Structure 1
């Protein structure tokens, strides 16, 4: 295990559904022009940073953001960075779902035909611990919920802490260490 591990979390730029608040799990939407411009603002923040690994979700919004951020030459596709599978709630907003199921919440409610919170906890825990063992500075290009879950697990061991962390499109966050404690060094930094 390495306390030299540093995870740089990069959320993709704006898409049609992220703008409208629709749950976008596995639907492979492109960036909006606005999202392209947002993603380009990441390049100055990442230029000159030496990454040991650059990993991206297989979905094009994450890969395109990685390309526009200027680090695609190191990019390796990582299926563990896929967004939460929202099952029957894919493409729907939380407010729309709550008309049928009052109080519905992705972190606390069942997700028929998708991933439960427990499923995501197992996926994230295994993935983060694998990265932690590898050590080094690792860039992760992915999606709002999965990155919030990674931060929740990193800091508390429970992805549900991610419910308390807002994450903007084309934002940059850094998870690292303070002495022996896992910490959030930067969160939700945008340059647009």
Structure 2
């Protein structure tokens, strides 16, 4: 079976280029439209379980997609966006955002480290992987969480420019479940 990963729809902060992190920002009209497009595109996809981050932008995206399924939506804090500390709310153009996703760069501004993000997302994926062997699971989360998600299924991605792995708003990634060998 499969895991479908959807990044939340657009927010005003996405549109204006602000770094959201764990700030709880709502979807804007475009984000709602994007979520409806994903809902319509996934109409023929069987989903058994929906899990999202506790932030409202992911909950709202998940609830729109869930109009197809009528399932209980489960929240999991391990797939919340990366905490960016003092620079949450800053304009991306005013900071060197790309440096925040480079393994060799030190942690700055009190933000969560890349290793911490990977650890909690991998822990989440380890927990749902057995379920995903028998069910299709929809995960609705964030751009920063999409990086470790993609690395989990292909370790070669860890060698890439991590920024290049960030999914666009309401982009869908599908991965087949697998047994993770530790």
- Which of the five TM-score ranges fits, normalised by the shorter chain? 0.7 to 0.9
Residue 118 of structure 2 is aligned to residue 121 of structure 1 = yes
Name the TM-score, length of structure 1 as normaliser: 0.79
What is the deviation of 1:89? 1.6
Give the direction of change, closer, same or farther, for the CA distance of 1:93–1:106 in structure 2 (3 Å limit).
Answer: farther
More helix by share: 2
Give the direction of change, closer, same or farther, for the CA distance of 1:21–1:72 in structure 2 (3 Å limit).
Answer: farther
Name the TM-score, length of structure 2 as normaliser: 0.83
Partner residue in 2 for 1:189:
none
Gaps of 5+ in 2: none
What CA RMSD, in Å, does the superposition of the two structures yield over aligned residues? 2.5
Give the direction of change, closer, same or farther, for the CA distance of 1:134–1:97 in structure 2 (3 Å limit).
Answer: same
1:1-192 equivalent positions in 2, closer than 5 A: 4=1, 6-69=2-65, 70=67, 71=69, 73-98=71-96, 104-108=99-103, 109=105, 110-135=107-132, 136-156=135-155, 161=160, 162-176=162-176
What is the deviation of 1:23? 1.5
More strand by share: 1
DSSP-derived class of the 2:95 partner: helix
Give the direction of change, closer, same or farther, for the CA distance of 1:33–1:15 in structure 2 (3 Å limit).
Answer: same
DSSP-derived class of the 2:22 partner: coil
After superposing the two structures, state which structure 1 stretch, 164-173 or 79-88, moved more.
164-173
Partner residue in 2 for 1:187:
none
